[in-house]
A and B are shown apart, each in its own frame.
Chain A
Amino acid sequence: AQSVTQLDSQVPVFEEAPVELRCNYSSSVSVYLFWYVQYPNQGLQLLLKYLSGSTLVKGINGFEAEFNKSQTSFHLRKPSVHISDTAEYFCAVSARPGKLIFGQGTELSVKP
């Protein structure tokens, strides 16, 4: 079985500051890794995904994540955030295509 732990439930940050949202996972098999963003009253939108290859993955809106197999982590980063990045961010793992196991979510709040 797989599980995901997002280490911070809320992350407040000032505009133009860097941010890191932490995600650890547990799995006995190889997994695919994802970050999704959910804006208020919206569905989930894929930010980026790791399937194989380079451990540094670049996504939309300037976000990137690094897969660290030894530490079973997949932290999300952005060097400079905007007010519009305020949203809920979900880390997810999948041992087979289609079945996503989500973390609890991290609420990113960007303040002016």
Chain B
Amino acid sequence: EAGVAQSPRYKIIEKRQSVAFWCNPISGHATLYWYQQILGQGPKLLIQFQNNGVVDDSQLPKDRFSAERLKGVDSTLKIQPAKLEDSAVYLCASSLGTEYTEAFFGQGTRLTVV
């Protein structure tokens, strides 16, 4: 079974530029999550989708971050404009549904903002 796919693996941008990350969850998984992991910290949930609807985006900085999950499958996370403090690993995860506790994580995208 294929795992959660993310791209790109690495990205370096200058502050005030924009960037987008892509995630393809495990086939059949209705729930998709984006986490931000700053160096030295545990992952923090940014947004949770159930199919193509948002379940929780309470910790998403909506002035600069946006996410969408068209057709309830793939998802993109965008940052515009980026700040230095956005440097982090962005992890995508998926699970069968909101009632399932186990989430499967992708390898992440490491973003460096200079």
Interface residues of A (CB under 8 A from B): 4, 32, 34, 36, 41-46, 49, 51, 90, 92, 94, 96-105
Contact = CB atoms under 8 A, between A and B. Distances in A.
Contacts, number: 60
Contacts of B7: none
Interface band, chain B: 20 to 34
A100 B103 contact: yes
Contacts of B43: 44, 90, 100, 102
A101 B41 CA distance: 11
30 contacts: A43-B4, A43-B93, A43-B106, A44-B43, A44-B93, A44-B105, A45-B105, A46-B102, A46-B103, A49-B101, A49-B102, A51-B101, A97-B95, A97-B98, A97-B99, A97-B100, A98-B33, A98-B48, A98-B55, A98-B101, A99-B45, A99-B56, A100-B43, A100-B45, A101-B45, A102-B42, A102-B43, A102-B44, A104-B40, A105-B42
